[in-house]
């Protein structure tokens, strides 16, 4: 993880992007683009280990994407200054969960005195929200004993954090909350209870949360209706951070390069080589496929529209995996540039990539180039204030 983090700060361009105007109402519907394609041959010798590879899972060994690297700076500032309630929002498939995992791993590496825990919520009424919170906190800490009555679990969860906090001088507990828009009032009261317990023991609890834009307004209204105190709401969702999806061709190139450079801890094999060993031996890299990916997006106007809206990380990584799958079907055979372009086209449609873009547009979520402009504007204002 450390190596990937270090590389991301140099390989992913953070320079001012090309000016791109917002998409007009006359832009073509991406769903109208042709989708006919031949079926790919299936290679019976396909390695069964693919499904366990980190690139194919939302594991805690994800890549330090540009969005995660930018949010990490804010996260560390919150930890240094003791500010709780930083949060960011995105659309479905924007990579919210993946980004939280990256941030948690980066914090654990950069700040040894910080104890972290991951907690997620889902829609639907839970029989015992307090039990859900306590179980999640124990499981996040790899605690073996997760059985017993709810009160026993609550005491055990508190003891875990208090114990770890006391063992680490000047420690801070950071909760990473996922799908915060599905957090019930009872969940919030349980977290606030934990915060007070830790505070009595001199251990600060900070919350970094993330959720989906579409559900936040209704969720915040329900908290007010259920008389959740404003200070408690601020602890969860106080200051909103600007989250951006993949916003430029340079960021696409940077992420593909990270996949090329990332190595397995066990074998030392690069991630790209794991999927395409014969092609990698010939000098193939995913980074060199950036132009082919951009061409497959369907012309300048569609490309501008897509990057303005922001490429959802979920859809992007699915597309990359499908491209690798098509390329692996060819085995050791040399793959022409034209074939690779076709593989990207197949992968884009099979991952419902264009549907994901249209869904964001229909939701009114534009966190690509538009979001990067806002971030650059904020950075310029902060620089002026510093001077």
Number of Cβ within 10 Å of residue 44's Cβ equals 5
Sheet of 205-212, strands arranged across: 86-90, 205-212, 172-178, 114-120
Dihedral Cα 126, 131, 132, 134, nearest 10 deg: 160
- Per CATH, the homologous superfamily of domain 66-237 is P-loop containing nucleotide triphosphate hydrolases (3.40.50.300)
Q: How confident is the model at residue 280 (pLDDT cuts 50, 70, 90)?
A: very high
pTM of the model: 0.77
pLDDT at 384: 46
How wide is the angle at C-alpha 128 spanned by C-alphas 122 and 129, nearest 5°?
Answer: 50
pLDDT tier at 59 (50, 70, 90 boundaries)?
low
- Given a cut of 90, is residue 22 above it in pLDDT? no
Comparing 85 with 29, the larger pLDDT belongs to: 85
Pairing type for strands 86-90 and 172-178 reads: unpaired
- pLDDT at residue 183, rounded to an integer: 83
Res 4 pLDDT > 50: no
For residue 26, pLDDT over 50 is answered with no
What confidence score (pLDDT) does residue 340 get?
95
pLDDT value at position 377? 59
Taking only the tens place, the pLDDT of each residue in 31-45 is 454 444 444 444 444
Per domain, the residue ranges of the chain are: 66-237, 246-379
Say what the pLDDT of residue 28 is.
45
> Cα separations (Å) of 205 from 77, 116, 209, 291?
15, 10, 13, 45
* Phi, psi torsion values for 208, nearest 5 degrees: -120, 120
Give 126's contacts (C-beta < 8 A, 6+ positions apart).
Answer: 132, 184, 186
- Residues 201-222 have pLDDT tens digits of 888 889 999 988 877 778 878 8
Contact 316, 344 (CB under 8 A): no
Share of the chain above pLDDT 70, in %: 77
pLDDT (tens digit per residue) in 287-326: 999 999 999 998 888 999 999 999 999 999 999 999 999 9
- Report which DSSP code applies to 240: B
pLDDT greater at residue 23 or residue 150: 150
* Band of pLDDT at residue 376, cut at 50, 70 and 90: low
Show the tokens assigned to 15: 């320079």
Residue 43: which residues within 8 A CB-CB, separation 6 or more? 328, 329, 331
| pLDDT above 60 for 109 | yes
pLDDT value for 124? 65
Instruction: Check whether 285 has a pLDDT greater than 80.
Output: yes
Q: Which residues contact 228 (CB under 8 A, 6 or more apart)?
A: 185, 188
Residue 259 scores a pLDDT above 90: yes
pLDDT over threshold 90, residue 264: no
**Residue 249, both tokens:** 């061709």
Return the pLDDT at 248. 92
Residue 13: pLDDT band by 50, 70, 90 thresholds? very low
In which band, very low, low, confident or very high, does the pLDDT at 194 lie, cut at 50, 70 and 90?
confident
């Amino acid at each position: 993880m450390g190596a990937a983090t270090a590389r991301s700060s140099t390989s992913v361009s953070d320079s001012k992007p090309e000016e791109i105007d917002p998409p007009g109402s006359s832009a073509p519907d991406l769903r109208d683009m042709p989708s006919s394609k031949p079926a790919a041959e299936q290679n019976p010798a396909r390695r069964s280990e693919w499904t366990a590879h980190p690139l194919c899972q939302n594991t805690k060994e994800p890549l330090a994407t540009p969005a995660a690297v930018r949010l990490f700076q804010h996260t560390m500032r919150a930890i240094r200054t003791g500010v709780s309630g930083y949060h960011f929002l995105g659309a479905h498939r924007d990579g919210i969960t993946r980004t939280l995992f990256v941030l948690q791993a980066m914090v654990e590496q950069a700040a040894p005195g910080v104890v972290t825990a991951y907690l997620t919520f889902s829609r639907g009424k839970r029989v015992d929200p307090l039990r859900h919170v306590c179980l999640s906190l124990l499981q996040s800490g790899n605690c073996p004993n997760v059985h017993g009555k709810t009160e026993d679990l609550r005491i055990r969860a508190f003891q875990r954090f208090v114990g770890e906090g006391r063992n680490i001088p000047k420690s801070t507990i950071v909760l990473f909350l996922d799908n915060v828009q599905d957090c019930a009032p009872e969940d919030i009261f349980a977290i606030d209870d934990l915060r007070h317990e830790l505070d009595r023991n001199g251990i600060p609890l900070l919350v970094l949360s993330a959720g989906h834009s579409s559900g936040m307004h209704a969720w915040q209204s329900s908290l007010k209706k259920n008389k959740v105190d404003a200070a408690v709401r601020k602890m969860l969702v106080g200051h909103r951070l600007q989250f951006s999806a993949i916003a430029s061709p340079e960021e696409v190139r940077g992420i593909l390069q990270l996949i090329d450079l990332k190595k397995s801890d066990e074998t030392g094999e690069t991630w790209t080589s794991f999927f395409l060993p014969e092609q990698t031996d010939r000098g193939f890299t995913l980074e060199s496929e950036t132009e082919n990916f951009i061409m497959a997006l369907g012309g300048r106007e569609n490309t501008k529209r897509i990057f303005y809206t922001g490429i959802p990380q979920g859809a992007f990584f699915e597309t990359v995996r499908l491209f690798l799958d098509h390329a692996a079907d060819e085995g050791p055979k040399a793959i022409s540039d034209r074939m690779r372009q076709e593989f990207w086209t197949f992968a884009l449609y099979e991952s419902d990539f264009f549907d994901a873009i249209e869904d964001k547009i229909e939701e009114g979520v534009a966190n690509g180039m538009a979001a990067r402009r806002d971030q650059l504007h904020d950075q310029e204002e902060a620089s002026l204030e510093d001077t």
